[in-house]
Amino acid sequence: MKKVTRLISLMLIILILGGTAAYAASENKQSVSGDIYVPVKLACEAMGGQVSWDGKKQITTVKLGSNELKLFVNRCDIILNGKAKVLKEKVKVEEGRTILPLSVLNSQLGLKLTCDDYIKLISMKFIGMVKAGKTADASFLLSKSFSKYATTEFINSALAPAFSVIEPDVKTMTLAKNTVHQNVFIPFTIQTAKYNFIMRFDYNGKIDEFNQAADSSQFTYSKPSYDNSANILKKEVAIGEGEWKLPGTLTMPKGKGPFPAIILVHGSGPNDRDETLGPLKPFRDLAVGLASQGVAVLRYEKRTLEYGVRIQSLPKLTMTEEFEEDAFAAANYLKTIDGIDASNITVLGHSEGGYDLPRILGTDKTGTFKAGIIMSGCSRPLYELLPEQYKYLAGLGMATEEQAEAAKAQAALIQDKSFNPENPPKGYSLGTPYYFYDMKNYDVIGMAGQIEKPVLVLQGERDYQVSTKTDYEGWKKAFEGKSNAEFKLYPKLNHMYMEGEGQSTPAEYYVKGNVPQYIINDIAAFIKK
């Protein structure tokens, strides 16, 4: 089991071999008609055809059923069943492989292969190629920007071993699309636990990312009572550009506006735009609730979710890449939208997003944000919280004292004055050292104290992940003597802003619930004030 778990984890991590992964511009391999180019040999052989190549004459010949198609490289003329025809676009060669618009193969050979069919076909073929050790063929199916990260070394040392011990069920794969990617979910099982291997395709038909996630089909979200679709509008959007473009949702009040707006910044981990956890979707609750009260809300997939392999490959990853760049990209998008009051944009950070909020506001030199909301944000580095969280869970029988001590030892290594991210100390294993080195040098209390913009600090009193006594009081100390900060403590709420009684446990996160109406009211009142 340990071996399997380690291999699955490797599927999410780029192995940096011989250098740093580079940023690359977005590519466009679509035909002029908006079609996608596909490798002729792969597509036709998958449909039962035969494909041959005459290197001397530069001719690809396809035999499928009763049809014979001859393709001439870098030419528009073709021969179908002995008759000459002229295409609108030239036959192309990419990395030694003949490629052609999918619509041409369909029209000339009667394939009737939709883009969705092709993507599912490529998903199956890719897994088969990796298993068979055909790394070069598998790499050809990757987008150019992604191939900078998903190198042949990664495929051989991470994906191939993983596929040797798990069996993705390609027969039951499903497809879901957003504004950036077409996502194929392929189920697999480890003992009794169900997961999905996720292949993200760009809209040129190339594999653009990998990820894996636990199967969440057993959880059902319940809409809150304040979700009034008659009063709001929802639009699927994309924020940012290039290889870090993110899909998101803009929820707007109905009417002319201009409306104040808020951007929702996630907590730690690979969160989706709703901050989904089991049956809970607190960011979705906030979006529909605030939009019903006249506030536009922009939320988006977190970079660590949409680009899991790429983000893990950055050797000097910090909160700047994880949170800040995308928060500003979201604000820049809002400024282009009719009906948004560009002078009244608030940024809300939950959990680690709240911890980073002083840095977001502190680096805002152009007045992008009017105000900020810290929603159960820690006021100290994450590595200081981990030992406390493990100790709390140990008291519930859900962790061990040894785990708590191990987390404490990791924190001590980072806190040591000699900690060097270029050469981490022996025994360090917490993650990318630059990430925590950056966090160590972030004076969150000092930077918060320099904020002049209005700030609202929210905290659930039953939160065991972020301490009321230490973190909430830390924010009070940071803003001591200042009139720009407001504080609200909610006795019944946990870290996900769900009500409960008594001692909070992780089991609460898997019980249906919604963010209470009074939280919506307090946030809306702060924004409008």
Radius of gyration of the chain (CA): 26
Q: What is the DSSP letter of 30?
A: B
Sequence-ordered strand ranges (E) for 73-221: 77-80, 83-86, 92-94, 97-101, 174-177, 182-190, 193-201, 207-214
Indicate which residue of 31, 143, 292, 351 is catalytic: 351
Q: Would you call 181 a catalytic residue per the annotation? A: no
Name which of 119, 136, 149, 144 is nearest 46 in CA terms: 119
Buried b (16+ CB within 10 A) or exposed e, 363-386: ebeeebbbbbbbbbbbbbbbbbbb
For the record, the structure tokens of 334 come out as 């809002």
Among 313, 463, 471, 504, the active-site one is: 463
Query: Is 350 tagged catalytic?
Result: no
- Of the residues 181, 266, 350, 495, only one is catalytic, namely 495
**How many angstroms separate the first and last alpha carbons of the chain?**
55
Q: Answer yes or no: 66 catalytic.
A: no
**Contact, 165 vs 7, CB < 8 A?**
yes
Q: DSSP for 32-91?
A: TTS-BEEEHHHHHHHTT-EEEEETTTTEEEEEETTEEEEEEBT-SEEEETTEEEE-SS-B
Whose tokens are 């890719």? That residue is 126
Q: Judge contact between 512 and 482, C-beta under 8 A.
A: no
Is residue 481 within 8 Å of 397, Cβ to Cβ? no
How is the beta sheet containing 59-64 ordered, strand by strand? 50-54, 59-64, 67-72, 77-80, 83-86
On whether the CB atoms of residues 522 and 457 are closer than 8 A, the answer is no
Assigned token pair, 223? 């809409």
Which positions are catalytic? 351, 463, 495
